Amino acid sequence: MVIKSAALETVCGITSKLPQTSKPEIAFAGKSNVGKSSLINGLMNRKSLARTSSQPGKTQTINYYNVNGCIYFVDLPGYGYAKVPVKEKEKWGKMVENYLHKSRQLKAVFLLIDIRHEPSANDRQMYEWIVSQGFDPVIIATKLDKIKRSQVAKHIKMLKDGLKVKPNTPLLPYSAMTKQGREEIWSLIGELAEVPSAGNSDG
């Protein structure tokens, strides 16, 4: 996918009304330090449009990124960060639930899991919760460059078994460092959102 334009268009806090967009949406969910902003930046070929932070739990809003004027990437608040007060977490949960129920353009939910570790209780809960909302999440296994190539198949099996994913669930490894997996993810986005997805990139 050649990225001609990418911009943060809408930021929704706890009290904000969600926009009703006219373009397909792909939502990104994941634990606070799993590399969600890095993935979104990598897909958009931007260095820092989605704000990465050394402080997990920084995304406390639902952020809509307009990509090429034809699709929205929707960044959902990270979960599982211990220092966030319980009441705050509950508010974020309601925000995300509200989004999943009310978005008419949501085509897929991408759930990011760290490929290095077995899925945490939070990861499993999030996977089951997204399924219970009527979606079959696509699993993106982040931090691919942190394990040896010979370990990849074993770790993918570990994630699938740990999450008890449904048969035929796509699981795509990705590295923010090397951008390995970027084209495969764009190809899947193209299919799910029915947007043109060329196999080339704009470097």
- Cβ-based neighbours of 141, under 8 Å, separated by 6 or more: 113, 114, 115, 155, 156, 159, 171, 172, 173, 174
SS3 annotation, 120-154: CHHHHHHHHHHHHCCCCCEEEEECHHHCCHHHHHH
Alpha carbon distance 29, 135 (integer Å)? 12
* pLDDT value, residue 9: 96
pTM recorded for the entire structure: 0.91
DSSP letter at 63 equals: E
pLDDT tens across 42-66, in order?
A: 999 998 898 765 555 555 789 999 9
Residue 58, both tokens: 């920084």
Q: At what angle do helices 121-132 and 152-163 cross, to 10 degrees?
A: 60
pLDDT tens across 58-104, in order?
A: 557 899 999 999 999 999 988 776 566 788 778 878 888 999 999 99
